[in-house]
Amino acid sequence: MRTSAELREGYLSYFQSKGHLLTPSSSLVPAAYDPSVLLTTAGMQPLMPYFLGLEQPPAPRLASVQKCFRTTDIDEVGATARHLTFFEMLGNFSFGDYFKDGAIDLAWEFVTGHMKLDPAKLWATVYRGNPAHSLGPDEAAIAAWERVGIPSERIVRLGEDNFWSAGPTGPCGPCSEIYYDMGPELGCGKPDCAPGCSCDRYLEFWNLVFTEFEQHSDGRLTPLPRQNIDTGMGLERGSVILQGAGSVYEIDSFQEIMDWVAEASGTRYGESEAATKAHRVVADHGRGMVFLAAEGVKPGNLGRSYILRRVIRRAVQHGSRLGLEAPFLSRLAEVVIEQMGGVYPELKEHSQEIAIVLSDEEERFSQTLDRGMRLFTDVAKGKQVSGDDAFKLHDTYGFPVELTRELAGERGMSVDEKGFAKRMEEQRERSRAGVKGENLRVAEFSKEAGFKTEFVGYEKTELLTQIGALEEIAEGLFIAKLRESPFYPEGGGQIGDQGFIESEEAGADARAEIEQTFRFEDDQALLFRGEGFKAGDRVRAAVLWSARFPTMANHTATHLLHKALQQVLGEHARQAGSAVRPEKLRFDFSHDKALTAAEREEIERLVNEDVFANHPVHTFVTPIAEAKELGAMALFGEKYGDMVRVVEVQDVSRELCGGTHVRSSAEIGAFVITSEGSIGSGLRRIEAVTSGAAVNLLRERAAEGEKLQSELERVRKEAKKRPSEAGGAGPEIAIAREEELGGVKIVVAEVKGVDAEGLLAVSDQLKNKNAPAAVVVGAVEDGRVNLVCNFDKSLEERGLDAVAVVRAAAALVGGGGGGRAGMARAGGKDPAKLPEALQAAAEAILSAL
Ligand SMILES: [Zn+2]
Ligand SMILES: [Zn+2]
C-alpha cells in the first residue's frame, strides 16, 4: 500500500471485510438538520442523527470516505506541512457494537498489518481525565494500547483536546489518537517534545472518539445507554506517512496540481519560504474551490459563500505573487478536475459551471483589488498604515495583511500590527457569535418579516419607501427589507444594482451604500453598513444610474448577440451562461471550435444592425405554455414558474428573462466584441462592450492606429537618413553564440557601427528572424558599452526577465540598466569586458529557462 488511491481503497475493503457497511461520501454542503454547520468538517457529521439517537443507522458498523472542508485553520494553510482546508477523511463507526477494545484492535491491525507502518514509530494519546467531571485517566484505552503492543512510555496523556462533545449538552467522551514519529530532523529538539508538541515531528493521523457519556445542562456526565465509536483518519496525512513525503503537498494526489503551479508560474516549489507557502495555498485552495463550486456554492459575502470567496481571493493573491497571471483559476480548476475527477465524478459533471463560477469571481476580485490599491495609495501617507486601514483593506478589499505589509515596506512604511490584531480579534468574536449560517439567517429574517418586498426596479430607479424590517447582524452591519425596492438582486446573469438608501430620520447625512441584495424567489432583502437606521424609517432608495444604464444596455445586447450567434453558427449555439455588468458583458455558449474572423465580424455586424434599426423592447408576463408557443428561448437548467416574463426585442428575439432592459435597441449605442475564446470543451466565451464603453474603446483603437501610422513614418524617414550617417555601411553583426533550448533560440552577438537605437533595431531583427528567440546584443560606442536584451513575448510567461539578465551582464562592464521583462537596456564603462558580459547574459538565460 503506497498511493492515496490504494490507501482509500484498502481502508474501505479492510473495514468491509470486518463487517462494516460502506456508505458513500455525503455532500460538502450538509443536509438541513443542523443549520449551524456551514460545511461538512468530519466523516461523522453526516451520521450525527445516528449519534444523537434521532435516527436508526442502516447497520451497526459503517465505514466511509468523506469529503471535508475546514476553515478554522485557514491561516495556517501553507505555513505548515500538514494543514489543509479540503481533505478526505477515512472513518469507521460503531453504533452500540464494538467499543474501545474493538476500535483499537481494528485500527492497530490496519496500521501495522495493511499500511505496514513500523510499530516502533507509533505513539498513542489518551485522555488524562478531569477532576471537574470526576473523570480519571482513560484506563481502558491505555490497557488496550498496551495490549496491542505500544509500550507505556509511548502512550501520552493529554488534556481537554482529547475530550469530544457534540455541544454543551448531549453525547460526549474521551478520544485517543495515533501519531507517527516523522523523525527527529523535523522536531524542535526540546527534551519534552512528544505528540501534542506544535512542531512537525509527531504527525497525528488517526483519531478515535469513544462516545461514552451524556452531558447534562448542569455539567453532570452519565453513561450513555448505547456507546458509540467514531473514528477519522486524514487520507492525505496517512499518505504522507506511506510515501515518506515531506508534507501533505508532496503526496501523489497533489503532484499534478503542484507541477502545474510551478510550470505556469515559473517559480519552483521550495525556491523560498514565501514561494513554498504560496504554492501550497494555491494548490490547497484550488482543490477547495473546485469542490465547493461543484456543489453549487456561489461566492458571496456570508456563510459558505464567503468561505468560497475567501479561498478564491487568497489563491489569486498568492498566485499573483508567484507570477501566475490572472485569469488562471479556470486552468487551475481543469488540473484539479483532471487529478480528482476519477474518484469524484461530480467534478467532471459540473466542470463548465465550476469554470464559470471561478473565473467570474476572479474577475470581480481583480476589480476589487484595483479599488483596494487606490485605497492603499490614499492611506499610505506618513510613517505607518493604521490598524483600522489595514483591517479595512483586509475586510473590505480582501487584502491579506502580508500584502499590505509588503506594499508598506516598499514605501518605507510600517503597519500598526497591534491595532490590526485588535480589529481582527473583534471580528473573530463577531463571527464566533454569529456562527449560524448567514444566508439561512437572512432567509429566515426575510420570511419572519411577514411581508414581501415589491420590486419596482423595472420602472423606477429611485423612490421614497419605508424600512419594513431591520436587524443588526454585526456591529454596523444590517439586513433590512424595504416595502418597495428599486434594487435589482443579482440573478439571471445580471449583476445586482449598486445604490444607496438615505433617511432624514436617521440623521443629517445617514446614507448607506447597499452591499448586497439577496433574492428569495419573488422577494428580496438588503445588506448594508450604516448608522442610525431603524425599522419604520422613511427612506429614499436610489439605484446608481451610471451603473444601471450600461448594465441594461449590456443585457439587451446579450439577447441580440444570442440571436446573432444562432443565425451565424447555427441553432446549437445556445446560451450556457452570461454575466451582465455595467462595464462589459460576457456570454458563454456551446460551440466546438473557435470563431473565424469572418464569423466574428458577421456577428458583430448583425448585432449593430439590430441596434441601429432601433427595435422597441417590450416585456410581458404570460403562462409558460404560451411563451413557448411564441418561440421564447428558455435557458437550460433554469427553473421557471407557471407564469413567466418574456423580453421581446421586436422583430428580433423573445427570451424568458427577469433582467432589466433598455426601452429600444438604439439605446445600446454601439456593440464591440473584445474577445472570443474557449472556456472548456465545447464551450466558448465572448466578451463585448456597448454604449459609452464601446465608444471609448473605438476611440482608443483609433488613437493607437494614428500612433502606429506616425511611428511607421518616423522609421521610414530614419531608414532613409541612416546610410549617409553611417557612411553607407550597415551595422556589422558578429554572432558570439547561438543555441537552442526547449524550442527557444538564444542568440548573442557583438555589433559594430551602431548607436544605442541602432543596437535596439538590430536586436529586433534578430529576434524576429529567429522567433521565438532570446536575443542579447552589445556594442561599443565612443568608449562606452551598450547592451540590449530583447526577448520574445512568450518567454515572459516562462519567467524569463530581461531586466535581470541585462543587469547581470552590465555588472561585468561596470554599469547598470533597466526596462521591462521583455526588453531591457544597459550601459557600461568597460569595453574590454564586453565579450565576457555577453557570455554571462547567455548563461543567465540558459539557467532561467
Ligand atoms: Zn517538538
Ligand atoms: Zn436576459
pLDDT for 690-717, tens place per residue?
999 999 988 988 888 788 888 878 877 7
> What is the whole-number distance in angstroms between the Cα of residue 495 and the centre of ligand 2?
12
Residue that wins the pLDDT comparison between 364 and 455: 455
Band of residue 347 on the pLDDT scale cut at 50, 70, 90: very high
**Window from 264-278, 448-462, 496-510 with minimum mean pLDDT:** 496-510
What pLDDT, on a 0 to 100 scale, did the predictor assign at position 199? 86
> What is the whole-number distance in angstroms between the Cα of residue 657 and the centre of ligand 2?
4
What pLDDT, on a 0 to 100 scale, did the predictor assign at position 435? 42
> What is the whole-number distance in angstroms between the Cα of residue 562 and the centre of ligand 2?
10
168 CA to centre of own chain? 35
**Ligand positioned closest to the Cα atom of 659:** 2
| 3 state SS of 66 | strand
> What is the whole-number distance in angstroms between the Cα of residue 233 and the centre of ligand 1?
22
Measure the CA–CA gap between 321 and 269, rounded to whole angstroms.
13
Band of residue 111 on the pLDDT scale cut at 50, 70, 90: very high
Task: Specify whether the backbone of 236 is left (phi greater than 0), alpha (psi in -120 to 50) or beta.
Answer: alpha
**Ligand positioned closest to the Cα atom of 587:** 2
Task: For residue range 299-342, list pLDDT tens digits in order.
Answer: 887 778 888 988 998 899 889 889 898 889 999 999 999 999 98
The alpha helices in 380-521, defined as continuous H runs, are: 387-397, 401-410, 417-433, 438-448
- Average confidence (pLDDT) over 607-634: 91
749 pLDDT higher than 50: yes
What pLDDT, on a 0 to 100 scale, did the predictor assign at position 576? 81
Most confident of 96-110, 479-493, 725-739: 96-110
Cis geometry, peptide bond prior to residue 772 (ω within 30 degrees of 0): yes
Pairing between β-strand 122-127 and β-strand 155-158 as defined by DSSP bridges: parallel
- Average confidence (pLDDT) over 471-488: 90
Measure the CA–CA gap between 758 and 161, rounded to whole angstroms.
72
195 pLDDT higher than 60: yes
722 pLDDT higher than 70: no
Band of residue 437 on the pLDDT scale cut at 50, 70, 90: low
What pLDDT, on a 0 to 100 scale, did the predictor assign at position 592? 83
**Ligand positioned closest to the Cα atom of 201:** 1
What pLDDT, on a 0 to 100 scale, did the predictor assign at position 76? 82
| 3 state SS of 785 | strand
Band of residue 643 on the pLDDT scale cut at 50, 70, 90: confident
109-129 burial, b if ≥16 CB within 10 A, otherwise e? ebbeeebebeeeebbbbbbbb
433 pLDDT higher than 60: no
> What is the whole-number distance in angstroms between the Cα of residue 140 and the centre of ligand 1?
27
What pLDDT, on a 0 to 100 scale, did the predictor assign at position 48? 84
What pLDDT, on a 0 to 100 scale, did the predictor assign at position 634? 77
Task: For residue range 357-388, list pLDDT tens digits in order.
Answer: 999 899 888 877 777 888 888 888 888 999 99
> What is the whole-number distance in angstroms between the Cα of residue 189 and the centre of ligand 1?
6
H helices, E strands: number in the chain: 23, 32
What pLDDT, on a 0 to 100 scale, did the predictor assign at position 711? 81
| 3 state SS of 265 | helix
All three cell numbers of 272: 523560498
> What is the whole-number distance in angstroms between the Cα of residue 519 and the centre of ligand 2?
17
> What is the whole-number distance in angstroms between the Cα of residue 205 and the centre of ligand 1?
16
430 pLDDT higher than 70: no
431 pLDDT higher than 70: no
> What is the whole-number distance in angstroms between the Cα of residue 551 and the centre of ligand 1?
58
562 pLDDT higher than 80: yes
724 pLDDT higher than 50: no
What pLDDT, on a 0 to 100 scale, did the predictor assign at position 723? 47
What pLDDT, on a 0 to 100 scale, did the predictor assign at position 720? 65
637 pLDDT higher than 90: no
- Average confidence (pLDDT) over 631-640: 70
Q: Percentage of residues in the chain with pLDDT exceeding 70? A: 95
- Average confidence (pLDDT) over 561-580: 91
Most confident of 47-61, 274-288, 358-372: 274-288
Residue 248: how many CA atoms within 13 Å on its side-chain side? Answer: 26
> What is the whole-number distance in angstroms between the Cα of residue 84 and the centre of ligand 1?
20
DSSP state of 501: E
- Average confidence (pLDDT) over 85-103: 96
Band of residue 32 on the pLDDT scale cut at 50, 70, 90: low
> What is the whole-number distance in angstroms between the Cα of residue 485 and the centre of ligand 1?
59
99 CA to centre of own chain? 42
What pLDDT, on a 0 to 100 scale, did the predictor assign at position 137? 95
> What is the whole-number distance in angstroms between the Cα of residue 560 and the centre of ligand 2?
10
Band of residue 506 on the pLDDT scale cut at 50, 70, 90: low
Instruction: Decide if 6 contacts 251 (C-beta within 8 A).
Output: no
What pLDDT, on a 0 to 100 scale, did the predictor assign at position 599? 94
Most confident of 201-210, 310-319, 396-405, 619-628: 201-210
Band of residue 719 on the pLDDT scale cut at 50, 70, 90: low
Measure the CA–CA gap between 408 and 393, rounded to whole angstroms.
12
What pLDDT, on a 0 to 100 scale, did the predictor assign at position 587? 93
What pLDDT, on a 0 to 100 scale, did the predictor assign at position 363? 87
**Ligand positioned closest to the Cα atom of 183:** 1
Residue that wins the pLDDT comparison between 631 and 229: 229
Task: For residue range 226-271, list pLDDT tens digits in order.
Answer: 899 999 999 999 999 999 998 999 999 999 999 999 999 999 999 9
What pLDDT, on a 0 to 100 scale, did the predictor assign at position 283? 97
- Mean pLDDT of all residues belonging to the chain: 88
Band of residue 679 on the pLDDT scale cut at 50, 70, 90: confident
> What is the whole-number distance in angstroms between the Cα of residue 464 and the centre of ligand 1?
64
Instruction: Decide if 238 contacts 110 (C-beta within 8 A).
Output: no
440 pLDDT higher than 50: yes
Give φ, ψ of 252 to 5 degrees. -55, -40
> What is the whole-number distance in angstroms between the Cα of residue 637 and the centre of ligand 2?
14
What pLDDT, on a 0 to 100 scale, did the predictor assign at position 438? 60
> What is the whole-number distance in angstroms between the Cα of residue 184 and the centre of ligand 1?
9
**Ligand positioned closest to the Cα atom of 182:** 1
Measure the CA–CA gap between 177 and 180, rounded to whole angstroms.
10
432 pLDDT higher than 60: no
